[in-house]
Structure 1
Amino acid sequence: MLPQPWNTRSWESIAKKAQDYRDATIALIEPPLPDIEVLPLDSTPILKTILTPKELSITESDPANLVSQLSCGTLSAVQVTKAFLRRAGLAQKLVNCVTELLPTAAIERATFLDDYLKTNGKPIGPLHGLPISVKEHIEIEGLSCNAGFIAWNDRVPKANAHILDVLLAAGAVLYVRTTQPQTLMHLETSSNYYGVTVNPFNRNLSSGGSSGGEGALVGIRGSCLGIGTDIGGSIRSPAANNGVYGLRPTSYRLPMEGLSATMLGQEQIVPVIGPISTSLEGVKLFMKTLINAKPWIREPSLLPFPWRTESLLPTDPDGTKTLKIAIIWDDGVVRPHPPVTRALRTVAEKLKAVPGITVIDWEPYQHDYAWTIISSLYFCDGGSEEKAAISSSGEPWRPLSKFILTENQNVKKLSVTELWRWTEKRDGYRKEYANKWGDVDVILCPVGPGAAPLIDTARYWGYTSQWNLLDYPALVAPVTRVDPAVDGVETKYVPRNEKDAYNYDLYTPEKYAGAPVSLQWVGRRYDDEKIIEAVDYIKEKIGMPFAEFV
């Protein structure tokens, strides 16, 4: 019997069907995962009580190290895939981050890769046997792709997204799909399909968004390398909230064909696709593999730039690397919470002690105006496609959907002439900001105005959307955690505006206890390789572990 069209069913029944299907895929895991009746605030200790030592060792390995072992047969692809399937299934029970597991297809794929290695004596490609997790709106042939909208539940693509074909050709194993929010335009992950994806380290807090399923899964090590997308912070917010690495690349560097979303074809603020990983090496491996595959041949809108392997950091005549790092302590609109300021101060003090590194303060340039520009260009149709996709099924509006679409005073339907004028303002602002760089190599700044936010409160995008507007690559790296013993409330602070007051009132250290605190490293447009190299060098020199939380 053919399924009924969505408009003859209630949104609740559609959501229930999706949840039942997800649970059925998790039930296929062998050996079965136990039910967890009591969930503590920090869910990460439960992992060691259920997974075997070998499963823990595999899933907590660096992705580059895993590829090395898989490529020589020290570990089998089947062994690694099964370990990640079990940990991903457990992650779902702890933080609600999975839309479906793909155990049958993943194990068949892993078996093929093991046979290939035995037969040919060499790996199939640079990602041979590596399990990679996928945000749900990145299309997989034959699997539903709803982009967070109940009304889109029966959409099934006939082909893989371009990026997945490249990764599969390189030897990857696709084994899990992850949650996303209604509209794909939240800095948290909540939908009427699956509810809220929470933070592994403090379940009262958000995993971030819109790639929050990826962030939570990687944060709890149910994945070591996953694919997210970003138009206003959707890779960096989840990476930061969950204490892992995430890169927003320069636009048109990685393949974008095959994503399910509204407003496809708009060119004013271009979304990007990028990695979320447990390590910086994982980020590098992801980028290098994709760009070395020359994706611009199939997708000609992409930039035909090869991945640069030579050092891009300046050096003194004696060979000492020199870096000028500018710090944004506060964007002039919303002041960061004390844990973020502490992280900035800690890193800055360590940087100043490194020969060849100069640290200066960066004066933010009209970041409030930048938000006016970008929020005016996000929904040039007045949000009509987003609103129609929500309302046509009768599903309720999530709080942050209301915030960005109906409470945002800059959401207006633009005429063609108005669109041109706002695009001129965007380009003018980009030119003015570029002129401020001088000899600065890297900007260091917050990822958000606090650590992982409380549910339904992530209303300030400025620390991430700023770099989408400018189209600068930005890399998130973890630093520390919120510590109530040292991160007290700034009691004498007087908020400067309504947004600042809202953020200030959210903070008490007890609410955010244990949440990861991460920072964002920003480069000029097309400096993707330089940013990765710079952070790698800085990690080595300042001796900070960039805390491994699990």
Structure 2
Amino acid sequence: MPSWQEIAAERQAHRESTIEALAKLPDPIITPDFGDPSKLPLNVYKTCQYYLTPREIEITEANPIIILAQLANSTISAVDVTRAFLKRAAIAQKLTNCTTELLPSVALARAAELDAHLKTHRKPVGPLHGLPISIKEHLGLKGHDLNAGFCGWVGNTAFETADILRPLYDAGCIFYVRTTQPQTLMHLETSNNLYGVTVNGFNRNLSSGGSSGGEGALIGLRGSCLGVGTDIGGSIRSPAANNGVYGLRPTSYRLPMGSQSATMQGEEHIVPVVGPLSTHLPALSLFMSVAIGSKPWLSDPMLVPLPWREESHFPLNAVTGRMKKMKIGVMRWDGVVMPHPPILRAIDEVVKKLRAWKDEFEIVEWKETNAAQAWDIISALYFADGGKEERAAMAETNEPVLPLSEWILTQPKVPKPPGHSMNDLWGLTLERDDFRRDFVARWNESGIDVLLCPVGPGVAPRLNTAKYWGYTSLWNLVDYPAVVFPVGKVGKEDEGKWDYAGGKGAGEKDRRNMELWDPEYYKEAPISLQLVGRRFDDEKILEALNIIEGKVGLPFIDPTQ
């Protein structure tokens, strides 16, 4: 078997060949050579724009819903849209290291077919007609490599396309790029031995998040307007938050998870989910309605036969014209790690504006989360085999175990190989279920519709420091849907000394997070928050966020400006 270094070199060469293929098209797409990455500015958003035409910028920065309308009425062609996103994705790759391969020939052929269909039949193939969609690499695409970030798994080829991708394709979308993920798929950053580190386009000193970090970085730089990620501890929401875009962690068993590559396939104690990331909020609902509208439960009996519900949860009163009042819980911190000043400021600003709409919103403080207990339970359930499959996958080529892989595999509650006994696993599952019952009882008592809270203990973290998952993994443990949205970016308002509780903090995890804060280091990083709802309230949280954004004017500052 080749060494892991040889395998990595081959994968990187393959990726480069897919970018070079753009210049060999009949109508070439030329992308720049940036040379030494260390000479790039920290914020490369405008660097990305500089190498695009005004028309390419207009296309790639448009709301996906607008793009779809223009495609449907032939204002723009699928070929032109695909070419623009291929070019911007190639540039984003050179700036952030966010892709594993581009798919120019198959994408442009598909785009041409869709244009021909529209011309002949005068109607689109479906609701996603001509829209380019990016894909996290470990979701199977028939005939393509499926390595899940492990050097030893390179060469595994997908025999079929992932279940979640098929209804999107049938609805007319175009798959044109695949994106990076971390070793083990269990980092809240994105780094592996195949491709290296995926960085944040708004501040290259910071992480793009993980494990769908390639998606986050690509969408953040508008190399994609809609992408597909997965989430078992924050892997959609962390990249969405870090890159100032929207991301939805749906309730489990609403979307199909078949035909993807990962260790520990078949475990059911903490169920992973697949979901969308996008530049614009309406695209999340569109993604869900298309995927669920295909009735995936007819072929996957694990799924809940619950259609996507379009009716309003906050209807207008026919007499007063006012909407049903929304009760919003606010969790400023979880009692374990206090978020950095930009996050606290963002919550204060949103809440202040919500309070001004007293007839529409009721605000209540939410303080009880039992976050420490939640992490003890979920971290013990992540690797029931003691990490045996993860280490075996890395050992196939003796690739180095990266720091964040070692960290998550050696959390105090993770068992030693061979893992939990059956009795231990049953006991932990009961603890999980008891925690869920207690949590929903407190939710019921509060009477809230949704909960506003941080996505993490700060904005995008410094590289190799994303070691607190509590603000995202809690919702995986209780299996609540959560949507992430941008609020602003780090600026002068966040300067000055940060000294809460006399600087003593709540414990070791809190102290480490406090030590990481430096307003200059996080300059221009996007600030995002999270809106959470009860199980199967996926539609409700998206509607609630749409209403909130309209009333208070979110984002207050566009991270791209």
TM-score band by shorter chain is over 0.9
Match of residue 391, structure 2, among 387, 394, 410? 387
Alignment of 1:89-128 (within 5 A): 89-128=90-129
Q: Secondary structure, in 3 states, of the residue corresponding to 2:494?
A: coil
**Whole-angstrom distance in 2 between the partners of 1:401 and 1:319:** 53
**Structure 1 counterpart of 2:539, from 529, 533, 537:** 529
Deviations, residues 422-441 of structure 1 (Å, cap 9, x unaligned): 11110111010001113100
Q: What CA distance in whole angstroms lies between the structure 1 residues aligned with 2:269 and 2:190?
A: 24
Larger deviation, residues 25-34 vs 365-374: 25-34
Name the aligned partner's letter for residue 489 of structure 1. Answer: K
Q: Which moved more, 1:146-155 or 1:399-408?
A: 399-408
Q: Is the 8 A contact 2:233 2:469 kept in 1?
A: yes
The letter of the residue matching 2:217 is A
Q: Which position in structure 2 is the counterpart of 1:430?
A: 436
The Cα of 1:392 is off from its aligned counterpart by 1.9
Which segment drifts farther, 235-244 or 307-316? Answer: 307-316
Normalising by structure 1, what TM-score? 0.97
C-alpha distance 301-27 of structure 1, shift in aligned 2 (>3 A): same
Aligned to 1:513: 523
Could you tell me which residue of structure 2 aligns to residue 338 of structure 1?
341
Residue 320 in 1 paired to residue 322 in 2?
yes
Q: Which runs of no fewer than 5 residues in structure 1 stay unpaired?
A: 1-7
The reply to whether residue 361 of structure 1 matches residue 365 of structure 2 is yes
Q: Any residues of structure 2 matched to 1:367-516 within 5 Å, and which?
A: 367-412=371-416, 413-437=419-443, 438=445, 439-491=447-499, 492-516=502-526
Who is 2:183 aligned against? 182
The match for 1:3 is none
- Structure 2, unpaired ranges of 5+: 23-27
> Is contact 1:482-1:516 (8 Å) kept?
yes
Output the CA distance in 2 between the equivalents of 1:294 and 1:489. Answer: 53
Aligned residue in 2 for 1:4 = none
Q: Give the superposition deviation at 1:407.
A: 4.2
Letter of the aligned partner of 1:520 in structure 2? Q
Return the letter of the residue paired with 1:394: N
Match of 1:530, as an amino acid? Answer: K
Equivalent position SS for 1:358:
strand
Partners of 1:539 and 1:546 within 8 A in 2 = no
Task: Give yes or no for contact 2:376–2:413 (8 Å, CA) kept in 1.
Answer: no
Mapping of residues 209-228 of structure 1, within 5 Å: 209-228=210-229
- Backbone CA RMSD of aligned residues: 1.2
Q: Secondary structure at 2:247's aligned position in 1?
A: strand
- Kept after mapping to 1: 8 A contact 2:525/2:559: no
* Counterpart amino acid of residue 33 in structure 1: T
Q: CA deviation at 1:165?
A: 1.1
Instruction: Give the whole-Å Cα distance in 1 for the aligned partners of 2:507 and 2:42.
Output: 33
Name the CA distance, whole Å, in 2 between partners of 1:143 and 1:70: 28
Matches within 5 A, 1:3-82: 8-29=1-22, 30-37=28-35, 38-82=39-83
Matched-pair contact (CA < 8 Å) for 1:314–1:323: no
* Letter of the 1:507 counterpart: W
How much does 1:360 deviate?
1.1
- 1:444 is paired with a residue of what secondary structure? strand
Structure 1 Cα separation of the partners of residues 293 and 521 of structure 2: 44
Q: Please state how far the C-alpha of 1:47 moved relative to its aligned partner.
A: 2.0
Q: How many residues in Structure 1 have an aligned counterpart in Structure 2?
A: 543
Alpha-carbon distance, 1:254 to partner: 0.8
CA distance in 1, matches of 2:157, 2:558: 38
Change beyond 3 A, Cα 1:546–1:477 = farther
Asked if residue 544 in structure 1 is aligned to residue 548 in structure 2, the reply is no
Give identity over the alignment, percent: 55
Contact kept? 1:338, 1:488, Cα under 8 Å: no
Alpha-carbon contact 1:325-1:359 (below 8 Å) kept:
yes
1:82-110 Cα distance to aligned partner (Å, 9 max, x none): 00000000000111001000000000000
CA distance in 2, matches of 1:267, 1:488: 46
Classify the secondary structure of the residue corresponding to 2:110.
Answer: helix
- Amino acid of the residue matched to residue 470 of structure 1? V
Amino acid at match of 2:50: T
- TM-score, with length taken from structure 2: 0.95
Deviation at 1:72, TM superposition (A): 1.5
Which string of whole-angstrom CA distances, capped at 9 and with x for unpartnered residues, describes residues 216-251 of structure 1? 000000000000000000000000000000000000
Asked if the contact 2:489/2:558 (under 8 Å) is kept, the reply is no
Q: Which amino acid in the other structure matches residue 18 of structure 1? A: R
Structure 2 counterpart SS, 1:501: helix
- Is the Cα–Cα contact under 8 Å of residues 488 and 555 in structure 2 kept in the other structure? no
Q: Which moved more, 1:85-94 or 1:28-37?
A: 28-37
Name the aligned partner's letter for residue 383 of structure 1: G
Change (3 A) 1:420 1:315: farther
Contact 1:484 1:510 (8 Å CA) reproduced: no
Match for residue 5 of structure 1? none
